[in-house]
Chains A and B, each alone.
Chain A
């Protein structure tokens, strides 16, 4: 499964989005291929790291077959990994 990763702009994040991405990537690297989302690629899933509840990351320009997963707080990291596993 191929997963495109997108971040919000990070104006005032409540958690370290880069570290969160690394945590998810390490947890799922056997099952899922991750890359920073490109507009000309169709992904199975788009994973969006929003820094806060505002969830303002734009993603209209990106294509996905099976949907979008958003995370906006560090407490949801384990849940996010499980959601991505369940997509498989």
Chain B
């Protein structure tokens, strides 16, 4: 059954999620002004699935029973599914200009689906059956699941089991007949507070000494022992200003990250998908990372589309749109944005079936995709700032633009003065010009910069992680053979 956005929001109210922000527990986090934009963003993933104009991307047929499900709960069954995933993410980026948070769950479903199949084949375990049962639950209820991989990691030079504090990587601390107890945390968890469930995965390849860290499981967001500490974002407290609208930039939507703490949480056996089989940790990590690196070829492109549109509007409202250098900058932004899309589509089109039967993206091309995503958004926003001009970071507040405090010799108010001196082209009102410039300010260096810039850098793995994968997949020996063949070198 597909929920509506409103039903999704109401479903969150039924959870007993523990959320902490500014040193206090947030009792009504659903309506908290700093958190609500991110919830509204996730709600769009539900609402668009109800709209016939978007269902071809937003929905799919379940691999379990061919029922119509939200594509965010889908197991990819073809390269067409992989391409539609990227297109769906571009669509959502266009509709929200934000991180819409639901992709991590979808990427973890697909990685866990194929990895559990192969673990069971080697060890005779029943993890794949456990996961199918869980997947049925998620699909039937149309849930948001936080795919949780990243541990805080502590000293990056030491393996998990060698850390001074063993909790710096999430691990099994107790094994019982009916399940396991886990302790640790997962950092930078996108959308975790807005999720119904968490699906945990290990964060790196592991050796035998680290087998307690080779764990994958699912649990409800409000399971006993779980709590979350909200991550600050640049300019986040603007959302607390009474009546804030224009100054927020994007007043409708936003992203969210938090630290999710697992304080001796019990996980029953039927929710466990990996438990000590350390030799499969790397497979799970690589496959999840591959899918998630593919995702950025969709979501960031959609946000990029909106940035390009806003930059073009800024040029119009500044009266500068006819200048040749402005046109060229917009061309360059488009070129960079579509290059990212090319990468997302390429790794999808070159996908292949796993042993479990679901489709995996081409790993080399997915890592190339993400490597480009670590660079191009920075250039796109640099060009947007160039086009917008310095006013985007020096404008008075919207309260000043609305102020009726008299300051001028002829009784002009602060609002009058602001509207007079910041007027642009006659094709727009001063407020419209402000709105566009504040949007660009927000995405370039405000709260939305988290989702467009730094997340582009580090989300789904930092740049060096992709370079390692490109090196592994790049087949230099094969390329040497190509050169030798042409040069008649034996």
Contacts and interface: CB of A to CB of B under 8 A. Distances in A.
Interface of A: 5-12, 17-18, 36, 56-58
B10 interface: no
B323 to A, nearest CB: 26
Interface in B27-61: 52-58
Contact of B57 (A5, A10, A18): A10
User: Counting chain A CB atoms within 10 Å of each CB, which of B83, B87, B94 scores highest?
Assistant: B87
A11 B52 contact: no
A58 B57 CA distance: 9
Contact of A10 (B83, B91, B305): B91
Contacts of B54: 7, 9-10
Given A9-B87, A11-B87, A11-B91, A36 B52 contact: yes
Interface string B77-102: 00010011001101100100000000
The secondary structure that dominates the A interface is loop
Contacts of A6: 52, 56
Contacts of A5: 52
B305 A9 contact: no
Given A7-B52, A9-B58, A12-B90, 11 more contacts: A7-B56, A8-B56, A8-B57, A9-B87, A9-B91, A10-B57, A11-B91, A17-B53, A18-B53, A56-B56, A56-B84
B94 A9 contact: no
B52 A12 contact: no
Contact of B84 (A9, A12, A17, A36): A9
A7 B56 CA distance: 7
A7 B55 CA distance: 8
B83 A9 contact: no
Nearest to B84: A9
Nearest to A12: B90
Nearest to A17: B53
Nearest to A18: B53
6 interchain residue pairs of minimum CB distance: A9-B57, A11-B87, A9-B56, A36-B52, A11-B91, A11-B90
Interface in B211-233: none
A72 to B, nearest CB: 14
Contacts of A11: 57, 87-88, 90-91, 94, 302
A10 B56 CA distance: 8
B129 to A, nearest CB: 29
Contacts of B52: 5-7, 36
